Structure 1
Amino acid sequence: MNNIIHLNDESFDKYIKELKGLGLVVFWTEWCGPCKLMTSALKELIKEFNKKISIAKLNIDENNITAVKYGIRSIPTLILFHNGNLIDNKIGALSKEQIKELITKGLNKVTTTS
C-alpha cells in the first residue's frame, strides 16, 4: 500500500476494525498549512516503512463525528493504532523525523508486546 488512505465518518470505524498491524491516522483540514506540509513526509514514510504501516487522513471539517469521538481539539493530530487499538498520539505539526520516531516507537511497542 503506497498511498495515503482518505477516510470519512462512514469508513473510519471499518478501517480501524479491519486494521492488521500499525496504522497512523492524521486528523487535518484543508485550510491547515502545517497539515499540508506534512503530506510529502507521510508519502515518503509509507515507502520507507514498506507495508509495515498504513497511513490515513481524515478531514475534520467534513467528518466531525469521528473528530468528536476521538476528542480532536487541535490539528494536525496524529493517532497511531495497532490492530484497531489506539497506542499513541501526537498533536501538532511534526517533521518527517518526528513522525518516523512515532512510527518506530509504535513498531517497537507492538513487537515487544506481541
Structure 2
Amino acid sequence: MSAVLTLNGGNFENQVLNAEKPVLVDFWAAWCGPCKMLGPIVDAVAEENVGKIVVGKVNVDENRELAIKYGIRGVPTLIFFKDGQEVKRVVGVQSKAQLQKLIDEVAAM
C-alpha cells in the first residue's frame, strides 16, 4: 500500500485540514512533465517519513475546485499544511534533499 493519499474535494478537509500531523500536498497533472519527475521523489519521501508527515496528491484536472481554492497557477505545486493552515509553498521540481529539508522544517514548527 502506498504511503501517499489520493486527495479530492470529498476527503481534503478530513485528510488535510483536520490532520493531526503536518501534511504535504502535491498538486499535479498527468500531462505535466515536471510532475512526472517529481512524483517518484514525493513517493520516496512519503515512505521515509511515515509517522512524521502525511503526504497526499491532488490531480488538478480532476479537482479544479481545490486548485482554484488554493490558487494553483502552475504544477507541480507543493503546499505544506499544519493545523489546517498553509505554512509553506514551493512550485516546481524539488530534489529529494530539498524536499526532505522542507519536511524537517515544517515538522519542527
TM-score (norm 1): 0.87
Which structure 2 residue ranges, 5 or more long, are not aligned?
Answer: none
Divergent runs of 4+, >4 A? none
Q: Which residue of the partner structure matches residue 95 of structure 2?
A: 95
Aligned-pair CA distance for 1:2: 5.1
For 1:29 and 1:83, the matched residues in 2 are separated by: 26
Q: Which has the larger displacement, 82-91 or 43-52?
A: 43-52
Percent of residue pairs bearing the same amino acid type: 37
Q: How many residues align?
A: 109
For 1:75 and 1:43, the matched residues in 2 are separated by: 17
Aligned-pair CA distance for 1:50: 2.8
Q: Which has the larger displacement, 85-94 or 45-54?
A: 45-54
Which secondary structure state, in structure 1, belongs to the residue aligned with residue 62 of structure 2?
coil
Q: Which residue of the partner structure matches residue 82 of structure 2?
A: 82
Superposition CA RMSD, Å: 1.5
Q: Which residue of the partner structure matches residue 29 of structure 1?
A: 29
Which structure 1 residue ranges, 5 or more long, are not aligned?
Answer: none
Which secondary structure state, in structure 1, belongs to the residue aligned with residue 55 of structure 2?
strand
For 2:44 and 2:64, the matched residues in 1 are separated by: 28
Q: Where do 1:1-114 residues align within 5 Å?
A: 3-108=3-108, 110=109
TM-score (norm 2): 0.91
- Contact 2:3/2:50 (CA < 8 Å) preserved in 1? no
Which secondary structure state, in structure 1, belongs to the residue aligned with residue 17 of structure 2?
helix
Aligned-pair CA distance for 1:18: 2.2
